[in-house]
Amino acid sequence: MADNLQALMLPRVQGLRNQRVQSRINSVIQAELGRVLRELGYGRSDVNVYPSFTNTTNGNGVSSSYTDIYGYTYGAAHGLTIRRSFTFNLANGRLYQLSDLFAPNSDYIERISNIIKEQIEEQDLPLIRPFERISPNQGYYLEAYDLVIYFQVYEYMPYVIGIPEFRIPYSAIADILAPNSPIRRIANV
């Protein structure tokens, strides 16, 4: 499958001064996207996959991006898109989990979950199961002004919604950010 991964033109980081860090980042990305491809059945003759990549912010030594991989099995009613996101420190290759963004004991889960509940209600989004709270390391990416939390297709909402995204303004969470949070490096909070 490694040869097939190259044929798909999956995202790769290029141009970093530290080649060891660049290689580490690319290994993390390739391994995670390889898991997604296996989950979608990539390699079977009746499965087609289509990856797309979006770099959402890249500055001050932080890069945040996501890759959507759409998989379709021949004869299925529709395909399925799976998203994976990555926020890296470009100096040392550290992959930031959501929990890394916030100060210890800050109860970021509760704060973000309440904001998402408000957005679900405001947008009158249909749920297939009740939303209670995000997981400690929920999928996310960073933009210029917002933390974006997302859920997979069918996780809480019907297929027609796609991948639901919830934008959390940095100003709404500035007081609970960790001192070394990558958000502080890309935004003035």
Per-residue model confidence as pLDDT tens digits over 106-145: 999 999 999 999 999 999 999 999 999 999 989 999 999 9
* CATH number reported for the structural domain that contains residue 33 in this entry: 3.30.565.40
User: 115 and 135: one domain?
Assistant: yes
d(CA 155, CA 22): 33
Among the candidates 56, 89, 122, a domain finishes at 89
* CATH number reported for the structural domain that contains residue 173 in this entry: 3.90.640.20
Q: Is the pLDDT of residue 45 over 60?
A: yes
User: 54 and 111: one domain?
Assistant: no
Q: Is the pLDDT of residue 58 over 60?
A: yes
User: 112 and 41: one domain?
Assistant: no
pLDDT, mean of residues 138-163: 97
Q: What is the dihedral of CA 63, 140, 83, 2, to 10 degrees?
A: 50
Q: Is the pLDDT of residue 156 over 80?
A: yes
User: 144 and 69: one domain?
Assistant: no
User: 174 and 108: one domain?
Assistant: yes
User: 104 and 179: one domain?
Assistant: yes
Looking at the structure of the chain, the number of domains it has is 2
User: 118 and 169: one domain?
Assistant: yes
User: 80 and 107: one domain?
Assistant: no
**165 has which bridge partners?**
150
User: 54 and 125: one domain?
Assistant: no
pLDDT tens-place string over residues 3-22: 455 457 788 899 999 999 99
Domain range for 70 is 2-89
User: 104 and 47: one domain?
Assistant: no
User: 54 and 121: one domain?
Assistant: no
pTM of this structure: 0.93
Among the candidates 72, 89, 106, a domain finishes at 89
- Half-sphere exposure of residue 76: CA atoms within 13 angstroms, side-chain side: 12
> What confidence tier does 102 reach under pLDDT thresholds 50, 70, 90?
very high
User: 6 and 83: one domain?
Assistant: yes
179 by Cβ neighbours in 10 Å (0-12 / 13-18 / 19+) ranks as exposed
Among the candidates 67, 89, 111, a domain finishes at 89
